[in-house]
Structure 1
Amino acid sequence: NPGWQGTGLSCSNFDECAAKWYDDPVTGTSRYYCPQNTSTCIDVIGSFYCECAPGFSGSDNGFNCSACAAGTYKNISGNSSCVGCPTDTFSTTVAADSEDL
């Protein structure tokens, strides 16, 4: 089954996040489990999930993450929204992952 590896006699979790990519049997091309640079892969027993990386936000399970706009940032992984810079501050950085710029 997907998410597992074994000999046929015993199975163990397959860490998709460590593998990073797989060969797509339909297209014959290599594909990443999670979009690179915009999301983070989280391994769980028997599966994995993606979430938006710091500096990126989205709500589609980490597959459609958008860079935080200038004047906003997000310092944690997850599908939460970017937040505005503190009062009387502004940053022109796109995809900011900290308010300390």
Structure 2
Amino acid sequence: MKKVLLLMVVSMLLVACNGKKEIKVEEQPKANEMSRFSVKITEGGKAVDDFKGTATFQMKGMDHGTIEANLNHQQDGIYENEIKLPMAGKWTAKIKGNNIDKTIELDIK
């Protein structure tokens, strides 16, 4: 019984210490021109400054293939790169790297 209780307490502590990373779009790219895509990554309200990863863009319902960009750290949890999306509409950006695998919906104009 003591082992089960100890295992439960350790599990709860591990879950409490494992903060969830949040991703917020700071700047969306514009359609049909080189423009900036920027996100802010935080964990527990604090900026994440050690992310290494990419953003992969796909247009919903269309066959433009994928457009991939490395996300370069700027400051205070901000990561960005310049990309060119070929047209306006509904796109997804899959942010992947360092224990993050999240898809964000974008409405590109």
Output the TM-score relative to the length of structure 2: 0.25
Output the TM-score relative to the length of structure 1: 0.26
Greater strand content: 2
Greater helix content: 2
User: Could you say which structure has the greater relative contact order, defined with CA pairs below 8 angstroms and 6 or more residues apart?
Assistant: 2
